[in-house]
Structure 1
Amino acid sequence: MPVTRRDVLAAAGALTISTIAPQPALAATFVSQRPPVRDRKFLSRSVERELSRIKARIADPEIAWIFENCYPNTLDTTVFAGSSDGRPDTFVITGDIDAMWLRDSSVQVEPYTHLMRDDSALRMMVHGLIQRQARCILIDPYANAFVRDPNAKSNLDSATLDATEMKPGVAQRKWEIDSLCYPMRLAHDYWQVTRDKTPFDAIWAKSAKLIVSTFREQQRKTGPGPYTYQRLTKIPTDSLMLDGYGPPSRKVGLIHSMFRPSDDACVYPFLVPANLFAVSSLRQVARVHREARGDSAAASDAEALANEVEAALRAHAIVPDGQGGKVWAYEVDGFGNWLFADDAGIPSLYGLPLIEAADAQDPLYQRTAALAWSPRNPFFVQGKAASGIGSPHMGLDKVWPMAIIARAMVSTDEAVIRACLRDLKATHAGTGFMHESFDKDDPAKFTRPWFAWVNGMFGMMIAELAKKHPKLLAERY
């Protein structure tokens, strides 16, 4: 049955939630859920070796099975690698939605980037994704998702009703800061691993500079900028107030983000974790400009903006925690109003260390994370099946596996990590895959059976545990 994000699918056109009966027979036999080799979209010997190496270390057969299914899921099912104008070209769909999100595609290939140095095919595939993302950004830096054919109209039913400037090639045009941060981060990771300059050509440089100018445009110091967005919908978080410009703000140097990484509209226009992500990714792209291209001017421009946004965050986004301490707000407006919450979608407050936007040992981050993983966060969910952070995107009674995975990856407390592994094992509903969300009391009710972002995160979590906490993988849960 089709399962979609709230505002998509082309095929379904409406929200549906999977409700499946538990599958004890499947769970007992642990039959691989991967496609046959002939049907896999992209084959990598190094990924297969890594899969076998790590799986052999996992004592719990069910967790080993989930890892086997999830770790290669992006390569098995979502990658379309080829060439365009003589350059590598890779399009990566998000899973059950036939479109490429800049954010999702970047994270989907992240579990494999450390293997690129010795795998030329894998390196070429990621090279192609960097090139495709650059071309997408040049089509429209305000779009968050794109279709495969750059000359085609959106294939998402909901987008046909959007009051915004929909250019050919764009699938959805929800302005989210992180949509431009993730490609910068991916470019930096590629450069750090490979030291290969070839993806960073004139097209890439033009797109990277456009990211910086778009961020400056969305500081809105001299006016509201060109971006507006409205949708004819019954769901308020799918559209923007004030003629599509979004909620009011005082211009303090922070970057406006109209939507969160969940694709829900912000309450206040300065999304703090996204601005923190902008700081870290701007500094990363500056290194690529300077080291791969020898472009000190572009590097300095990105660093100057990072410094400005960081100073504005320190001045306007640290708020009282109600216990005598200080924490990061989730959203602010520059007038002194703020919202404390957290959403499972990364960039989140809890997930800041995963995107190099905070040090996990920083006391400010630790206080923020503790508050986010508590009933002080309106989207913290506690249920019979599991507890964790959810999102307004799917409702108040849904836990997102992404948040549980993030908790396991950030924590150094083995008891916490064990609890996360138990919860993830208990809530995949016998499918062998992670999902967007599941009901806090009944994980057989879940959304999105094919969501490669979170599958990849599960695989990356297990790979990290194999390095940092191998004894935890030697246990049964």
Structure 2
Amino acid sequence: MNTLRITMLAVLLVALTALPSQLVAQETKFESKRPPESERCFTSPTIEKTIADVKGRIADSELAWMFENCYPNTLDTTVDYEVIDGKPDTFIITGDIDAMWLRDSTAQVWPYMPYIKQDEKLRKLVEGLVRRQTKCVLLDPYANAFYKDMTRESHWKDDRPTPIDGVHERKWEIDSLCYTIRLANEYYQLTGDASIFDEDWQRGAKKIVETFRTEQRKNGTPFRFIRKTDRMLDAPPFDGTGRPVEPVGLIASAFRPSDDSTLFPFLIPSNLFAVQSLGQMETIFRDVVGDEEFADECQALADEVQTAINKYAKVNHLDFGEIYAYEVDGHGNKVFWDDANVPSLMSLAYLGVHKPTDPIYMRTRKFLLSENNPYYFRGTAAEGQASPHTGKVRIWPMGIILRAMTSTSDDEITQCLTMLKNTHAGTGFMHEAFNKDDPQDYTRDWFAWANTLFGELIVKVDTERPELLKQPLE
């Protein structure tokens, strides 16, 4: 009996002795993946405080580590800020490609927007991005990605027509222009600084509306995109013009936010985004700029597009009732699916186009999370929205994040957080996509938008449902 007690005490002593080393190993495992402070592209004291505060409230050490790595990734690694002609200028690359997408750059700074009133350095960064985006729109409203050096030859110079200097890629995507409006509007709403709505910005805004009007395709379109490629989704069919449409008031988008060509050119999430953006421009030009005529034009176009959405995009599904189609052609043809990129049908509540409790959004969302959606994958590692961009086996972390961002269920949000924790392949960062059965098989090591969006999700949960972060995840 005494021998047994001694043995048990010895085992206990060994266990207690090993405990500190286990804790040290755990801390070592979760060392920060951020660049050294001296090597960071941009730092914000406010964001640093937010990271420390939120991280301190996350019980799951791995999730806290991921948040610390991901949330500042845009600032740490992608920002090129300077003052040009006495005004801030901000260029933000997407990550592993040294070009700036209008969409990505807005989305990358969006999680920092709530702090720009209290952080002058951060405010100037966003002001600089608004001004840089204006330069890009004026250079080519049909382009989706640009270089900082506007004399630089395009990487895609063999595309037809050849992009002009300064343009990285010329894929016409409605959402690219919408994102520039989204950023400028939010900046003004938060700061009251109307200086961004200068002559250049107003010219850019009018070019946006002109482009939207042209791409209603009532008189055809000047846009062509031809690329030598073995990827069928890299260019529209029919000599780069896309499939036929009936001009019914919707705006044609040659490409999706994934940079894949559309099946039917009337991409509904982007048209809904355009209605929202036109409404924001109408208010700006009426209340700030004082241009009633152009404000009326913005409102008229928004009303026309919304009327067409109501008629052609709200469709009765056999199993789910009235939901949104993803793409239509105005002839009555339509497809039911979604793409994990934003804008998507799932993201409509995130963008503020719908409330999470709006009936048509709820029905559409239920469809998107079902087996009826051909791009909703279930695997042994996770389940979630995918994209034609990455094939038939890969789930997008962005899709899981947007599902959590638009959820009203604690259990669903926790499920999403758990899947994100278990599929980063030990890197501490989000990726573009991962194999549904093997998270080690992923695309893009450095995708700043996905990283920062994950950080935005954690901040949102910490603000609205802090209790969900107080327990470790599975």
TM superposition score category, shorter chain reference = over 0.9
What is aligned with 1:16? none
Amino acid in structure 1 at the alignment position of 2:287: E
Of 304, 312, 318, the match for 1:308: 304
Is structure 2 residue 217 aligned with structure 1 residue 252? Answer: no
* Counterparts of residues 332-371 of structure 1 (less than 5 Å): 332-371=328-367
Describe how 1:119-198 pairs up with structure 2 within 5 A: 119-154=119-154, 156=155, 159-198=156-195
Aligned equivalent of 2:209: 212
Equivalent residue number for residue 65 of structure 1: 65
Deviations 1:173-201 (A, max 9, x none): 01000000111001111011100112111
Instruction: Give the superposition deviation at 1:293.
Output: 2.3
Counterpart in the other structure of 1:232? 228
Classify the secondary structure of the residue corresponding to 1:265. coil
SS at match of 2:439: coil
Q: RMSD value over aligned CA atoms?
A: 1.2
Mapped contact 1:271–1:331 kept (Cα < 8 A)? yes
3-state SS in 2 of match to 1:443: strand
Residue pair 1:191, 1:292 contacting (<8 A) in 2 also: no
Say which SS state the counterpart of residue 438 (structure 2) adopts: coil
Cα contact 2:320–2:363 (8 A) shared by 1: no
In structure 1, the residue corresponding to 2:196 is in which secondary structure? coil
- 1:289 positional shift: 2.5
Which one scores higher on RCO, CA 8 angstroms, separation ≥ 6?
Answer: 1
1:13 corresponding residue in structure 2: none
Q: Mapping of 1:36-51 within 5 angstroms? A: 36-51=36-51
Runs (5+) with no aligned partner, structure 1 = 1-24
What corresponds to 1:93 in structure 2?
93
What CA deviation, in whole Å up to 9, does each residue of 1:300-320 have, x standing for no partner? Answer: 221211111001000111112
Select 2:197's aligned residue among 196, 200, 205. Answer: 200
* Conserved? CA contact 2:174–2:253, under 8 Å: yes
CA 1:229/1:26 → structure 2, altered by over 3 Å: closer, same or farther?
A: farther
Cα deviations by residue, 1:396-423 (Å, 9 ceiling, x for unpaired): 1000000000011100100000100000
2:104 is aligned to 104
Query: How far did residue 287 of structure 1 move?
Result: 2.4
1:354-396 Cα shifts (integer Å, max 9, x gaps): 1122221111111111111111111111100000011111111
Deviates more, 1:322-331 or 1:184-193: 322-331
1:243 alignment partner in structure 2: 239
Q: Deviations over 1:24-59 (max 9, x none)?
A: x78862000000111110111111111111111111
CA distance in 2, matches of 1:26, 1:162: 50
Q: What SS does the aligned partner of 1:118 have?
A: coil
Contact between 1:254 and 1:312, CA under 8 Å: does it hold in 2?
A: yes
State the shift of 1:225 in Å: 2.0
Instruction: Find the partner of 1:464 among 460, 465, 471.
Output: 460
* Equivalent residue letter for 2:147: V
The aligned residue for residue 432 of structure 1 is 428
Comparing both structures, which one devotes a greater share of its residues to helix?
Answer: 2
Q: CA deviation at 1:165?
A: 4.3
Instruction: Identify which of 388, 392, 395 aligns with 2:384.
Output: 388
Which residue identity lines up with residue 398 of structure 1 in the other structure? R
**Structure of larger gyration radius:** 2
Match of 2:268 in 1: 272
Structure 1 counterpart of 2:178, one-letter code: C
* 8 Å CA contact retained: 1:78, 1:94: yes
| Residue in structure 2 matched with residue 455 of structure 1 by the alignment | 451
1:27 and 1:430 in contact (8 A); partners too: no
* Equivalence for 2:19: none
Amino acid at match of 1:41: C
Q: 2:392 matched to 1:403?
A: no
Q: Is the 8 A contact 2:134 2:200 kept in 1?
A: yes
Aligned partner of 2:17 in structure 1 is: none
CA distance in 2, matches of 1:27, 1:407: 30
Could you tell me which residue of structure 2 aligns to residue 15 of structure 1? none
Structure 1 residues 324, 411: CA separation in 2 closer, same or farther (over 3 Å shift)? Answer: closer
Instruction: Tell me how many residue pairs correspond in the alignment.
Output: 449
Which amino acid in the other structure matches residue 161 of structure 1?
D
Separation in 1, partners of 2:468, 2:401: 15
- Note if contact 1:163-1:229 (Cα within 8 Å) is conserved in structure 2: yes
Q: Give me the whole-angstrom Cα distance separating, in 1, the residues matched to 2:162 and 2:303.
A: 31
